[in-house]
Amino acid sequence: MTERNEYKELTWQGLWKNNPGLVQLLGLCPLLAVTTTLTNALGLGVATLLVLVCSNATVSLIRHLVPKEVRIPIFVLIIAAFVTCVQLIMNAYTFGLYQSLGIFLPLIVTNCAIIGRAEAYASKNPIKQASFDGFMMGLGFMLVLAALGAIREILGQGTLFDGADLLLGDWASVLRIEVFHFDSKFLLAILPPGAFIAMGFLIAAKNAIDAKLEKKQAKQTETKTIERVRVNFDA
């Protein structure tokens, strides 16, 4: 039962409460640079997710073997190795996407979300929980990437899933949706300033939802106390 609660907590932490993109604000460089289209965002999201799960699992597996003093270089080594592997695999099997993600794939190494999770969680917890944490954190990061990519693609080009065939193979070009048509693109959404602004709105929306939830909860406890008071009163 406690283990189940732990997984629930990890899910909640990764996807919402401690989301690497929206709350920890880690890995902003690739987050803002790559999310010009939904396809690119998903590509980088999947790559980061893969690296995060692999690195968390490995770090947790070797946590008793690694002396404390040299743990950081070892974590970096492991992460770099996995990133290189993912890069090679993408180069081999999703060549077009590899070209459009370009420099940002190797930059996953410097995504602090990954080393952050390795240090803060994986190095102290058993492999099952660590992999799950990596998966949820990666998923949370990917969802933020995808949301940002979708917003920017719709505003900037009026399409969704443009170039999906680069990620999924030729059949996926049917996924492309033309939401509306512009003669010239809305540049601000495509360029980095637009990314910052959209990111700001996403964070604001999350905070607003949190505030609302809190209010609701507060009200609930309030009504509960009143009820209890009334019960007491009756008694």
Partner 1 sequence: MKQAISNNARTLALFAIGCTALVSGVHWLTKDTIKNQEELQLLKTLHQVIDQNRFNNNLTQDCKFITDSQLLGSNEQQTAYIARLDEQATTVAITSVAPDGYNGKIKLLVALNVDGSLSGVRVINHQETPGLGDKIEIRKSDWIEDFVGKTVSEDNESRWAVKKDGGMFDQFTGATITPRAVVKAVKNTSLFFEKNQDTLLTNSGSCRGNNDGA
Overall size of the chain counted in residues: 235
Q: Which of residues 122-151 bind partner 1 (CB under 8 A)?
A: none
Q: With contacts defined by CB under 8 A, how many residues of the chain interact with partner 1?
A: 26
Q: Which is nearer to partner 1, 72 or 218 (CB)?
A: 72
CA distance 110 to 101: 15
Bridge partners of 160, per DSSP, are 177
Q: To the nearest whole angstrom, how small is the minimum distance from the Cβ of residue 143 to partner 1?
A: 24
170 binds partner 1 (CB under 8 A): no
Pseudo-torsion of CA 182, 184, 189, 190, nearest 10°? 120
Q: Which is nearer to partner 1, 69 or 170 (CB)?
A: 69
Of 8, 12, 93, 228, which one interacts with partner 1 (CB under 8 A)? 93
Of 11, 13, 18, 84, which one interacts with partner 1 (CB under 8 A)? 84
13 binds partner 1 (CB under 8 A): no
Task: For 72-124, give the secondary structure using H, E and C.
Answer: HHHHHHHHHHHHHHHHHHHHHHCHHHHHHHHHHCHHHHHCHHHHHHHHHCHHH
Q: To the nearest whole angstrom, how small is the minimum distance from the Cβ of residue 193 to partner 1?
A: 13
Distances (CA, A) of 13 to 8, 44, 207: 9, 21, 15
29 binds partner 1 (CB under 8 A): no
229 binds partner 1 (CB under 8 A): no
Kindly calculate the radius of gyration of the chain based on its CA atoms and give it in whole angstroms: 21
Q: Which of residues 34-53 bind partner 1 (CB under 8 A)?
A: 36
179 binds partner 1 (CB under 8 A): no
Helical pair 38-61 and 71-93, crossing angle rounded to 10 deg: 140
33 binds partner 1 (CB under 8 A): no
Q: How many CB atoms lie within 10 A of CB 157?
A: 20
Q: To the nearest whole angstrom, how small is the minimum distance from the Cβ of residue 166 to partner 1?
A: 11
64 binds partner 1 (CB under 8 A): no
Binding residues for partner 1, per CB under 8 A?
36, 65-67, 69-70, 73-74, 77-78, 80-81, 84-85, 88-89, 91-93, 95, 156, 184-185, 187, 190-191
